[in-house]
Structure 1
Amino acid sequence: MPTDPTPRSATAPTRFAVLGTGHWARTTHARALADHPDVEFAGFWGRDGEHAATAAAEFGVDSWSGEEGLSDLLARVDAVSLALPPDVQADLAVRASDAGVHVLLDKPVATDLAAADRLVEAVRRNGTASVEFLTYLFMPEITTWLAELTELAERHGPWEGGVFRWAGSIDTPGNPYAGSRWRRERGGLWDTGPHALSIVRSLFGEVEAVAAARGPRDAVGVALQHRGGAGTTLSLTLTAPEGTGGSFATVWGPGGRHDLPRFHGTAAEGFARAVDRLRTAAATGVPDALDVRNGRDAVAVLAAVEAHLQRPDGTTAVVVAQG
């Protein structure tokens, strides 16, 4: 714990580092930071020093590794972005916050609710800013669509239902995430689930109850009951057969039926907007709408789904006609 938990600057953070060295860390986090006109990209920290050095050489920045390296890095930067497995990033984000460093996290912010709660408490305790990067919510085509649907709901009445399919195909040749151990272990629920929930919760509000069932490989089907009475369903997988992946959503209610549009920007462009949002939150002291508290509530939904799937009585058998 720091002796003074106050962030070292009440202005927008300028010096950033990336915790993580994988494909996403380099092509999205680092690329956005290196190209950003208002920040300085200091370098990478990684658990493997060789990997950190290789990533740093690609961008001409510094590298750190190990416990001492992390302590040194946190003393030198204003903010960190975390591109690490979610079961690792929460505790490292707590450590950064305790050092007075602002945090920009990937989704999901954690893989268990206790870790997410510790992160929320650390950010509150230390007065640091936080943002969770949810790709769709940083793309203009999507945010414009969400604003339009919110306006329609205000005029005609709340949305009543929706179907959301988020399917990745990490087994296709050349997929950069094929070797991701946490994705293999956690599946689509924890990797594609936060994307689907980011849209669902934006339109339908908080989730009060869930039910779920498993499909082939890592596939999960989820039914969500929302506060206010709406019901939505999710179909999630990371291992859809080649050519069958993709993200699709349809929403309906008194305001009509509407399909989720495609976005055309890159993830790095979206991440640059997340950097701007973090800088604004740090400078103003006003928490961002997509801070760790929002991330914690998404983890609560995912954890409830996982708990339902582990129940021996999690499904009700259908009586099949005989003969």
Structure 2
Amino acid sequence: MTARDQESATAGGRRDVGSRLRFAVLGTGYWAWWCHGTVLAGRSDVDFVGFWGRDATKADAAAARVGRGRGFTDLDVLLDAVDAVAIALPPDVQAPLAARVARAGKHVLLDKPLALDPVAADEVVAAVADSGVASLSFMTYLFQAEVAAWLDRLRELAAAHGPWEGVAVSCAGSIDTPGNPYIDSVWRRERGGLWDWGPHALSLVLSLLPPVERVSAARGVRDTVHLGLEHAGGPLSALTLTVTAPQSAQECVVTVWGPGGRHTLSLPTGALREAYDRAVDQFLKAVARGSRSHPLDAAYASRIVAVLDAAERQLARPAEQRTTAPIA
């Protein structure tokens, strides 16, 4: 019997669809087990199957940490054993695997950013659309109770007084803080605050303003980037993003202004697993709906990537040639 045959026998193969979704996580790192795996393994409405990773020892260790499921190294075997997959991998690894998962007919709960280039992101969107599976991108702040309530209140004010005219978001973190679980994250080191904080900041901006039409971008010290965004109809937003801020300067703040006044929120840093649990709630509802639609689906995540890519292209140009870049 081959190793894959042995895994298939252990996994039990396909089963008849029941009331509980069979779920697994792609990834074995800290975020994969601490957030995705711990939440999914603790829910009573899903059957948690385990973790997939290239290293069998790490996959088994992740399963042992959450006390449910087992490790897999053969992705096809895992896909035969599940109905849905959560992905907790670097974005350049996530995108092709997400497309593969969707084309296998499995629902996909995505992390952010979806990809590091628009072509890879669009391939995920196409795979999801072609297969008719559900997709949802875990935009952390949008699932945190305090932030969601604040955004609801701002939408009420906009409905009563007129649309918001501008948003500013400053996200300053430091992956060099002792004990930070992402201190060795290669993609965060290479891509910096633009791609790490960018999806978070954009999720807030796009909750309050129309779609982005044009982008300007400039570099600051270390990995800091400053973005100026022009939105449909005239509103503007500004983002300042870094993952290498001085440790004493760490803070994330969003400010909104317009006819409804000026409002500022210091963004929370905790309750991350609670936020993910709410995302799973919404994901399961999307799976249960025949339309599979959700506002934060793969297409939404792809639009985020398009904005970040436009900023990246601006930053790659000589300073004297930078103006604004249209969103492709």
Structure 2-normalised TM-score? 0.90
Preserved contact between residue 142 and residue 261 of structure 1 (Cα < 8 Å): no
How high is the sequence identity, in percent, across the aligned residues? 54
Amino acid at match of 1:113: P
Cα deviation, 1:93-144, whole Å, max 9, x if unaligned, reads 1111111110001011111000111000100000000000011001121111
1:5 corresponds to? none
Q: 1:204 aligns with which of 191, 202, 209?
A: 209
Which structure would you say has the larger RCO, counting Cα contacts within 8 Å and 6 or more residues apart? 1
> 1:296 aligned to 2:302?
yes
Cα deviation, 1:40-79, whole Å, max 9, x if unaligned, reads 11100012222112112222321011xxx10000011010
Query: Residues 214 and 29 from structure 1, CA distance in 2 versus in 1: closer, same or farther, beyond 3 angstroms?
Result: same
Q: 1:47 aligns with which of 37, 54, 65?
A: 54
Deviation at 1:36, TM superposition (A): 1.3
Deviation at 1:274, TM superposition (A): 1.2
Query: Residues 175 and 314 from structure 1, CA distance in 2 versus in 1: closer, same or farther, beyond 3 angstroms?
Result: farther
CA distance in structure 2 between the aligned counterparts of 1:124 and 1:10, rounded to whole angstroms: 21
Moved more, 84-93 or 160-169: 160-169
In structure 2, the gaps of 5 or more residues are: 1-14, 324-328
Query: Residues 265 and 178 from structure 1, CA distance in 2 versus in 1: closer, same or farther, beyond 3 angstroms?
Result: closer
2:25 corresponds to? 18
Q: 2:288 aligns with which of 283, 289, 295?
A: 283
> 1:157 aligned to 2:157?
no
> 1:218 aligned to 2:226?
no
Deviation at 1:37, TM superposition (A): 1.9
> 1:62 aligned to 2:77?
no
Deviation at 1:12, TM superposition (A): 6.7
Preserved contact between residue 145 and residue 261 of structure 1 (Cα < 8 Å): no
> 1:80 aligned to 2:88?
no
Cα deviation, 1:231-273, whole Å, max 9, x if unaligned, reads 1100000000112112101110000000125447521111111
Amino acid at match of 2:26: L
What SS is found at the alignment partner of 2:207?
Answer: helix
The root-mean-square deviation of aligned C-alpha atoms, in Å, is 1.8
Q: Give structure 1 regions of 4+ aligned residues with deviation exceeding 6 angstroms.
A: 8-12
1:321 corresponds to? none
> 1:146 aligned to 2:151?
yes
